[in-house]
Chains A and B, each alone.
Chain A
Amino acid sequence: GAGVSQTPSNKVTEKGKYVELRCDPISGHTALYWYRQSLGQGPEFLIYFQGTGAADDSGLPNDRFFAVRPEGSVSTLKIQRTERGDSAVYLCASSLSGRGYNEQFFGPGTRLTVL
C-alpha cells in the first residue's frame, strides 16, 4: 500500500513569504504528526492531530506556524512571514492511533529553504 506522501519535496522561498506544505497520511491512520529536522539534528515534534483536531500543538515555535487537517486525512502545515531560521526538512508521520507504542510511519519530507 501507499506510504505517507509529502508535497512538494523541495520548496525555495524568499524571506517574508507564505508557504504551505502538504501531507497525505496512510489511509486509515487517525493520528498525524509534524516534525521539523534542522541540519545535523534529530527531528523535533511540532504538532499532533487525532482525527480533525489538533490535540497538541505545543511544539509549534510561534504563531507564524499553523496546521490544519479539515477532513481527518490530508494535513497542511502553513508558515507565514517565513524567516531564514525556518529552513529545515519538515517531516510528516502517521500512525493507527496516538499511543506511544504505535509505530509512526514517516514521509520523505519537504526541504524548505528560505533565502
Chain B
Amino acid sequence: AQSVTQLDSHVSVSEGTPVLLRCNYSSSYSPSLFWYVQHPNKGLQLLLKYTSAATLVKGINGFEAEFKKSETSFHLTKPSAHMSDAAEYFCVVSDSDSNDYKLSFGAGTTVTVRA
C-alpha cells in the first residue's frame, strides 16, 4: 500500500519569490512519484514524475522536485513564482515494481500568489 502526505494545505507567496511544496510518501515497493497541478475548472496536468532514474526531476513551467529516499520526501520547488502558478497541487504516488496502477493522491496544497 502507498500513501502521500502533503504537509501544507495552503501556501501563499509573493510573485518572484521561491515556492516550496512539501510531500512525504509511504510505499511498500519502489515508488513512482508525481506532481499534478489543477487550475480552477481545468483538468489535472502532470508537472513532473520520478520513476527511479535521476533523483532531481525537472518538470514544466520551471518546477522541479527532488526524490530523497532517506527522508521519504518528494518536495516540489520553483525559484520564482508567477501569478499563473496559483492553483491546487497534488503529490501522487504509485508502486512501480508491482502491477499497482492506482494513483494515491495527497489532499492537495492550494497556492496563492500575491502581486
Interfacial residues, chain A to chain B (CB-CB below 8 A): 3-4, 31, 33, 35, 40-45, 48, 56, 59, 91, 93, 95, 98-109
Contacts and interface: CB of A to CB of B under 8 A. Distances in A.
Interface in B76-95: 90, 92, 94-95
3 tightest A-B CB contacts, nearest first: A42-B105, A100-B94, A106-B44
Interface residues of B, number: 28
B1 to A, nearest CB: 12
Given A100-B96, A101-B94, A42 B107 contact: yes
B99 A99 contact: yes
Given A106-B44, A108-B43, A100 B108 contact: no
Contact of A48 (B32, B43, B101): B101
A101 to B, nearest CB: 4
A100 B105 contact: no
Contacts of B106: 42
Nearest to A104: B103
B105 A48 contact: no
